[in-house]
Amino acid sequence: MLIVMQNNAAQKLIDAVCARIESLGFEPHSMPGAQRTAICITGNDGSVSKRHFADLHGIREIIQVSKPYKLTSNETQSTPTTVTVGSTNIGPGSFQIIAGPLHIESRDTAMRIAKALHEKGVTLFRANTHRPRMNPYSNMLSFDEGLTILSEIKAVTGMAVATDVEAASEVAQASGVADLLIVETHNMRHVNLLRALGKANVPVLLKRSSSATLQEFLMAAEYIMSGGNRQVILCDGGVCSFGEHSAYALDMTFVPALQQLTHLPVMMDPSQAAGSSFMVPALMAAAKSLGASGVLVDVHDDPAHSMTGGTQAITPEVL
Amino acid sequence: MLIVMQNNAAQKLIDAVCARIESLGFEPHSMPGAQRTAICITGNDGSVSKRHFADLHGIREIIQVSKPYKLTSNETQSTPTTVTVGSTNIGPGSFQIIAGPLHIESRDTAMRIAKALHEKGVTLFRANTHRPRMNPYSNMLSFDEGLTILSEIKAVTGMAVATDVEAASEVAQASGVADLLIVETHNMRHVNLLRALGKANVPVLLKRSSSATLQEFLMAAEYIMSGGNRQVILCDGGVCSFGEHSAYALDMTFVPALQQLTHLPVMMDPSQAAGSSFMVPALMAAAKSLGASGVLVDVHDDPAHSMTGGTQAITPEVL
Amino acid sequence: MLIVMQNNAAQKLIDAVCARIESLGFEPHSMPGAQRTAICITGNDGSVSKRHFADLHGIREIIQVSKPYKLTSNETQSTPTTVTVGSTNIGPGSFQIIAGPLHIESRDTAMRIAKALHEKGVTLFRANTHRPRMNPYSNMLSFDEGLTILSEIKAVTGMAVATDVEAASEVAQASGVADLLIVETHNMRHVNLLRALGKANVPVLLKRSSSATLQEFLMAAEYIMSGGNRQVILCDGGVCSFGEHSAYALDMTFVPALQQLTHLPVMMDPSQAAGSSFMVPALMAAAKSLGASGVLVDVHDDPAHSMTGGTQAITPEVL
Amino acid sequence: MLIVMQNNAAQKLIDAVCARIESLGFEPHSMPGAQRTAICITGNDGSVSKRHFADLHGIREIIQVSKPYKLTSNETQSTPTTVTVGSTNIGPGSFQIIAGPLHIESRDTAMRIAKALHEKGVTLFRANTHRPRMNPYSNMLSFDEGLTILSEIKAVTGMAVATDVEAASEVAQASGVADLLIVETHNMRHVNLLRALGKANVPVLLKRSSSATLQEFLMAAEYIMSGGNRQVILCDGGVCSFGEHSAYALDMTFVPALQQLTHLPVMMDPSQAAGSSFMVPALMAAAKSLGASGVLVDVHDDPAHSMTGGTQAITPEVL
């Protein structure tokens, strides 16, 4: 941490900051500069909160240097992590596709799409068993019914299956069926759920909140990893931005920035960001060239008659 | 809904869109314009999904007209809602303050702050019983211990108490103690929690997600109201934006825009948005002049030694 | 500047950074911490570019400490600046209103609105002489005609007049008529214009670009001040954000954050941010309570028949 | 245009809206729906301003349907435009690289980089002759000196050269030397400059403002095209967003969204968005796969000793 003093801060104010640092058990290093004095803190193993200095005067700015994430950092683990889902490896050197309908509408529809995907060579099937996110007036199958259908798809096609969990109480049941548990965008900050996933023995795909910074995203993954589950995949589906040309902005610079800091595999979700199927193939190609480890993509064999998410789903043929 | 055709769309493409609208049970109204044809849909009671037209050609744009929210709309209920918390009315014509420490650190600290606030005339006390949001390495009291302390504060000071709920499973227990349940920013899209709150008999203060549009915010409130609980307060604590001058952008235009569409009371959380206590008094004054129904504000009697959120907390004296 | 090394950076990499700092004429201070080494730079009078270290290895992050703005900073001038426009003081302790139609549509309309505002006690009249911003197909008066009308309004009503300048070549001519020159949002980064205004002997109201950070905004003002013109008013009309509830997000936290760093007066433009007149009165009241030095507000006596900006203009009666 | 009435709007309010539409010379089409009445407008050749209805009551929302851009639209010209710069075609089916240092620091440096790029097969050289954007305290060559150096580079290497114009007054002079004129991000809304470029007989590369929506970007291009110059290349260098992982968010969804609406070629500027050279190669590869027509990329043979933009420049070898 670096504490930058105002350029006219009196020596006694500087001394008070140094004394506070010492009282916290750390070591202050005062650096008188041409314009102002800055005070470095050493001896801290982790980040120090700014609040410890909130009552002191003469401070212009406090700059955090240490990062709060540890297990997700490639400073802690320098070799890239490969997460194995079913018999598919997700990690460096490969580009994997997880595909399926956004939600399970019925047993027959889901099975039909799954078979079509299996024929195209897809090995990872995903479908959400929950109702559409933010509309209380929609009807869907129950969580139990959804898992039963997924289980049947797995048995029939041999594909590994991935599905969403919405609450800590669902983790154990879902782990019995699914090969990969997905934390949707709107659940990235759902601490109880993250903690439960830290105890699960199934890999987790964590989607970035549409308002999460890089550090917030890594801290959410840190929750899962600190519970003991090291099989975490990061997935960016875009962030809120101005304009109406797509559902979310899918920022190309985020993937290399993330890869420079973490050993975890990074995937992208072009369907969520696009909101319209016409742009999904171009986004998938770009994600691959960018160096992502794969994509999560919505696929439906009859988007016009699907119950949810149809404008962004592509057909198995397009895939 | 309005379907805008490309300017060179052949008549048979226009006919196909009209036929699709009829097959959905609605009525199409084709409007040939100077540049292009637009097709209006009537007969629908609620919004129609764009996906029903995803496979048709010659469409340039689909514009949603009907809004999916109903119970939160002032078209459904034209008189403003007043929510009563303890003996305090939150609604039109008044400006209420809900104050307290961001988290309960210990029984003694919370009680001391509560007494100081009570002496200043505050009638609504809030404190979170959960650990700080996104750091798995922090330590806090248990939820049970937190509720016991809140219960004691209520008995000693007579203030109504508000606290956060993080999971559906906590709602019943918290309702037994708290006079107001708070859904934090990061839980606004937590559907299971919203559904449980719809069945609670205690008012709810719903905080806006830092990436929620006006419609998404109202839809989250719609979840609670559609479950039967009509005592909902909306509270904006800011949205993610560029720049580093504060924690979140607290957009002045959001409150009047919201008030024009809903009958629910709208509050603001200047502490969350500011991230620094120095600007909180000015934001509180501005929120009042803007026409908000009140503020949620972090208060600590010793910010420098608080365990969380201290940089944004003001002291009871400043309040 | 602080250079944060990777936690496993070898000593020779640290030495190379220190050597580079010395070669630039500054002094390095190496701080070995528990996790990693950070290197402070002193001796620099102004900010040091990160690019000087772009070819060195073992660096995790470079943190800027010194700020590039000087003349706008309240560290350079601790007393707040008051800018006098006509006989009206804009600065601490007062709240001034600059009002008028967004554009001059005709001599008669502008004069009629000016007289109505004068009767309401307004002392500062503004009108843009340029055509609407981003539509090449609109028709307006010429710059010369606009200035002639402004000159007449000034003579008839006695109000001080403010108008926009779009190019460096317009500054001299506009200075002969106007008491205040306005740099519109889309011109904040127009360096040639800023430089010409630095040589003008008329006060300048600089509007924030809808994508400017606090530092970028101050640097634009720095351009004007470094040219010799110290009469600068900062004005925030909002920034681009997600959602469609208004034209721009008008972030409440920006004004106090700016006031903490600069001695220049800070105004707000609620009309631009709102985009709809219904919310303008509430935003004006909030701006005043927030501590802004005034507002720039669009006023039209017949918004429905105005040629531009009518949806956001309020009438003189509402004002 | 579609005017959506409040659900309880009286018939006389609906009639008043229809009467206003007729008074503007257009035709109203009233559509009574289950929830509310919507009124379509036909007969308008171009967009109708919302302000014409600002004084009427009972209106819930006004939705624009017609778009203000014409010449940039692929409804006006269905075949994609190819822009020829020197002997290089920029348009569908190819991916071109425009490379060079962000600014000309000296004749020798620029010439050395140009020769290195020429050897690598680059045919389009770019260098800005202006000083760095937002710092008044930096020193650079004059515009004249810059153009002379560019002219010499063109003669020596045979590469086509591109350079930035900052003011309308520079267009004629720059057109005499450069094969492509660049409008930088901060000048996208600089109307005088766009108008001057509309009269130029040299192709223009227009960079997206970091706060421009898709429509605003097309309207800026419309300015140039409506002046007579049809040789316009659109280039996206990213938009402002939250977080600090890069300089700007480079939204993958923007390119296909733009390509669906316009016939103009679309390029990307990964260097501007990245702000750090390490991620530029991955962004270039992704831009190509995405279907962009090329990239504008900062290249310097000694980034550590460059005067500007060095952190984002890659070397000719990396390119």
pLDDT digits (tens, 9 = 90+) for C62-119: 877 767 788 999 888 889 999 999 999 999 989 999 999 888 888 999 999 999 999 9
Would you call D52 and C304 a contact, using CB atoms and an 8 Å cutoff?
A: yes
Decide if pLDDT at D152 tops 60: yes
**ipTM, 2 dp:** 0.88
* CB of A33 less than 8 A from some CB of C: yes
* CB of A24 less than 8 A from some CB of B: no
- Count the Cβ atoms, other than its own, within 10 Å of residue C108: 9
- Chains touching chain C through at least 3 C-beta pairs below 8 angstroms are A, B, D
* CB of C298 less than 8 A from some CB of D: no
Which positions in chain B touch D4 (Cβ < 8 Å)? 65
* CB of B31 less than 8 A from some CB of D: yes
* CB of B248 less than 8 A from some CB of C: yes
Would you call D282 and A255 a contact, using CB atoms and an 8 Å cutoff?
A: yes
**Which residue on chain D is closest to B9 by alpha carbon?**
D75
Tell me, what's the pLDDT at B90? 98
pLDDT tens column, D74-131: 888 889 999 999 999 999 989 999 999 888 888 999 999 999 999 999 999 999 887 6
Decide if pLDDT at D244 tops 90: no
Q: Which residue in C258, C274, C288 is closest to B253 by CB distance?
A: C274
Tell me, what's the pLDDT at A293? 98
Which residues numbered 160-189 in C keep a CB inside 8 Å of some CB on D? 166-169, 186-187, 189
- Average pLDDT (B151-163) is 97
Decide if pLDDT at B141 tops 60: yes
Decide if pLDDT at B139 tops 60: no
Tell me, what's the pLDDT at C165? 93
Instruction: Give the pair of three-digit tokens for residue A266.
Output: 């990074």
Of A116-130, B237-251, C121-135, the one with minimum mean pLDDT is: C121-135
Share of residues in chain D with pLDDT > 90 (%):
59
Which residues numbered 106-165 in C keep a CB inside 8 Å of some CB on D? 130-131, 133-137
- Minimal CA separation from C288 to chain B, in Å: 7
**Which residue on chain C is closest to D69 by alpha carbon?**
C135
Would you call A130 and B304 a contact, using CB atoms and an 8 Å cutoff?
A: no
Tell me, what's the pLDDT at B312? 75
Q: How confident is the model at residue B135 (pLDDT cuts 50, 70, 90)?
A: low
pLDDT tens column, D200-236: 999 999 999 999 999 999 999 999 999 999 999 999 9
Decide if pLDDT at D187 tops 80: yes
- Chains touching chain B through at least 3 C-beta pairs below 8 angstroms are A, C, D
* CB of D319 less than 8 A from some CB of A: no
Tell me, what's the pLDDT at A229? 96
- Minimal CA separation from D87 to chain C, in Å: 31
- Minimal CA separation from A47 to chain D, in Å: 18
Would you call C38 and A38 a contact, using CB atoms and an 8 Å cutoff?
A: no
DSSP-derived 3-state class of residue D289:
helix
D241 near D211, Cβ under 8 Å?
no
Decide if pLDDT at A159 tops 90: yes
Decide if pLDDT at A269 tops 90: yes
* CB of D218 less than 8 A from some CB of A: no
Please name the helix (run of DSSP H) or strand (run of DSSP E) that holds residue D110, with its range, or none: helix D107-119
* CB of D274 less than 8 A from some CB of A: yes
Tell me, what's the pLDDT at C154? 97
- Average pLDDT (C193-201) is 95
Would you call B226 and A189 a contact, using CB atoms and an 8 Å cutoff?
A: no
- Average pLDDT (B134-143) is 66
Task: Report how far residue D43's alpha carbon sits from residue D45's, in angstroms, rounded to the nearest whole number.
Answer: 6
Share of residues in chain B with pLDDT > 90 (%):
59
Which positions in chain C touch D54 (Cβ < 8 Å)? 277, 303-304, 310-311, 313
pLDDT tens column, A26-50: 888 887 776 778 888 877 766 677 7
Tell me, what's the pLDDT at B98? 97
Would you call C304 and D54 a contact, using CB atoms and an 8 Å cutoff?
A: yes
Tell me, what's the pLDDT at A98? 97
Higher-pLDDT residue of D240, A41: D240
Of B128-132, C2-6, C263-267, the one with minimum mean pLDDT is: B128-132
A314 near A281, Cβ under 8 Å?
yes
Q: Which of A24, A61, A73, A75 to mutate to test the interface with C (most CBs of C within 10 A)?
A: A75
- Average pLDDT (B51-64) is 80
Tell me, what's the pLDDT at C57? 85
Would you call C282 and B290 a contact, using CB atoms and an 8 Å cutoff?
A: yes
pLDDT tens column, C38-74: 888 877 766 677 777 877 888 888 877 767 788 999 8
- Minimal CA separation from A74 to chain C, in Å: 10
- Minimal CA separation from C253 to chain A, in Å: 17
C187 near C205, Cβ under 8 Å?
no
Decide if pLDDT at B307 tops 70: no
**Which residue on chain C is closest to B247 by alpha carbon?**
C253
Would you call B303 and A55 a contact, using CB atoms and an 8 Å cutoff?
A: yes
Task: Report how far residue A165's alpha carbon sits from residue A130's, in angstroms, rounded to the nearest whole number.
Answer: 8
Which positions in chain B touch A134 (Cβ < 8 Å)? 189, 191, 216, 219-220, 223
* CB of C236 less than 8 A from some CB of D: no
Interface A–D counts its CB contacts (< 8 A) at: 126
Q: How confident is the model at residue C274 (pLDDT cuts 50, 70, 90)?
A: very high
* CB of B256 less than 8 A from some CB of D: no
Which positions in chain C touch D55 (Cβ < 8 Å)? 302-304
* CB of D32 less than 8 A from some CB of B: yes
* CB of D35 less than 8 A from some CB of B: yes
DSSP string, A299-316: B-S-GGG-SSSGGGPBPT
Highest mean pLDDT among A28-37, A45-54, B133-142, C7-16: C7-16
Share of residues in chain D with pLDDT > 70 (%):
92
DSSP-derived 3-state class of residue B206:
strand
- Minimal CA separation from A254 to chain D, in Å: 7
**How far are the Cα atoms of A220, B199, D192, D213 from residue D230, in angstroms, in the given order?**
49, 62, 17, 21
Q: Which residue in A55, A166, A191 is closest to B192 by CB distance?
A: A166
DSSP string, D243-286: SSSSSSB-BTTHHHHHHTTBSS-EEE-HHHHHSSGGGHHHHHHH
B163 near B127, Cβ under 8 Å?
yes
Decide if pLDDT at B43 tops 80: no
Instruction: Give the pair of three-digit tokens for residue A71.
Output: 């297990």
Q: How confident is the model at residue B244 (pLDDT cuts 50, 70, 90)?
A: confident
- Chains touching chain A through at least 3 C-beta pairs below 8 angstroms are B, C, D
Q: Which residues of C4-16 are buried (b: 16+ CB within 10 A; e: fewer)?
A: bbbeebeeebbeb
Q: State the average pLDDT for chain C.
A: 88
Task: Report how far residue B300's alpha carbon sits from residue B101's, in angstroms, rounded to the nearest whole number.
Answer: 5
Share of residues in chain A with pLDDT > 90 (%):
59
Share of residues in chain C with pLDDT > 90 (%):
59
- Average pLDDT (B27-41) is 80
Decide if pLDDT at B279 tops 90: yes
- Minimal CA separation from A27 to chain C, in Å: 10
Residue/partner pairs of C112-119 with CB below 8 Å, 24 or more apart: C112/C301, C113/C299, C113/C300, C113/C301, C113/C316, C114/C153, C114/C156, C114/C157, C114/C159, C115/C156, C115/C157, C116/C301, C116/C316, C117/C159, C117/C299, C117/C316, C117/C319, C118/C157, C118/C158, C118/C159, C119/C316
Half-sphere exposure of residue B271, counting CA atoms within 13 Å on the CB side? 25
Q: How confident is the model at residue D163 (pLDDT cuts 50, 70, 90)?
A: very high
A109 near A117, Cβ under 8 Å?
no
pLDDT tens column, A178-190: 999 999 998 998 8
DSSP-derived 3-state class of residue A179:
coil
Tell me, what's the pLDDT at D150? 96
Tell me, what's the pLDDT at D82? 97
Q: Which residue in D239, D247, D256 is closest to A282 by CB distance?
A: D256
Decide if pLDDT at C198 tops 80: yes
- Minimal CA separation from C100 to chain A, in Å: 29
* CB of D255 less than 8 A from some CB of A: yes
Decide if pLDDT at C122 tops 80: yes
* CB of D68 less than 8 A from some CB of B: no
Q: How confident is the model at residue C31 (pLDDT cuts 50, 70, 90)?
A: confident
Interface A–B counts its CB contacts (< 8 A) at: 126
Q: Which residue in C244, C282, C287 is closest to B291 by CB distance?
A: C282
Tell me, what's the pLDDT at A90? 98
Interface C–D counts its CB contacts (< 8 A) at: 129
**Which residue on chain B is closest to D64 by alpha carbon?**
B63
Would you call B243 and C211 a contact, using CB atoms and an 8 Å cutoff?
A: no
Q: Which of A134, A140, A142, A305 to mutate to test the interface with B (most CBs of B within 10 A)?
A: A134
Q: State the average pLDDT for chain A.
A: 88
